[in-house]
Amino acid sequence: MCPKIIDKKVKKQDILEAAINVFAQQGIPNTKMIDIAVKAGIGKGTIYEYFRSKEELIKEAFRSYIVKLDKAAVHKMEEADHPIDKLCNIIDGWMGVIETSYEESKVMIDFWAQGLRLNRVIEEFNLKEIYHNYRTLLSGIIKQGISREKIHPVDPNLMASVIIATLDGIVLHWIIGKEFFDLKDAVELFKKSTIDPLRKI
């Protein structure tokens, strides 16, 4: 009988998904590696063949989530030409990932909330740097739009910060109580009230 061939990439992803599910149910501080192993249907020893610690597993989950956000934003951005449409498409890309990955998004909020307890993770994934990169992306588009006279004059960095901060607030409230409002409706209202008025042409 031939030994069973295990696809390590698939197995690692299965463990990540199990971890995210357990993190979402129990919270990051209350989750032990054995809890994740049980959810993934593997032995506790096996999980250490893929992740040396819970912190490493968290880092990998966070990395995977950020990559998803970035890919969705770039893909949607490339579909548009007008700077305002680019901004709206980036927002749609981000929100699409968040809405279709509710459990994962919930865990990311927990991650940020527990940041002070996870110093080693924070050191590797500098949230300040991540937000800086997002601001740079958005402000660059706004600057370009102003220079092409397609966007009304506005402070690009400040506007980018307002966009990111508002989206963070919308997402946080949606994750805490998504039964109270629809994420797409809230985002559309934000775009119509804040982003669209910047359109000059």
What confidence score (pLDDT) does residue 24 get?
A: 84
Q: Model confidence over 126-183: pLDDT tens digits?
A: 677 888 999 999 999 999 999 999 999 999 999 999 999 999 999 999 998 889 999 9
Region 1-52: CATH code: 1.10.10.60
What confidence score (pLDDT) does residue 132 get?
A: 92
C-alpha distances out from residue 89 to 84, 128, 147, Å: 9, 23, 20
Alpha helices in 28-153 (DSSP H): 33-40, 44-47, 54-77, 83-100, 102-113, 119-124, 127-147
What confidence score (pLDDT) does residue 109 get?
A: 80
30-39, 83-92, 140-149: range with lowest mean pLDDT: 30-39
CB of 167 within 8 A of CB of 190? Answer: yes
Region 65-198: CATH code: 1.10.357
Mean predicted lDDT score pLDDT of the chain:
88
Bridge partners for 151 per DSSP: 199
71-75, 100-104, 142-146, 180-184: range with lowest mean pLDDT: 100-104
What confidence score (pLDDT) does residue 27 get?
A: 83
Token pair for 33: 């590696």
CB of 46 within 8 A of CB of 15? Answer: no
* Mean pLDDT calculated for residue range 53-79: 89
Residue-range domain boundaries for the chain: 1-52, 65-198
What confidence score (pLDDT) does residue 91 get?
A: 97
pTM, 2 dp: 0.84
Residue 113 confidence (pLDDT) above 70: no
* Mean pLDDT calculated for residue range 49-63: 86
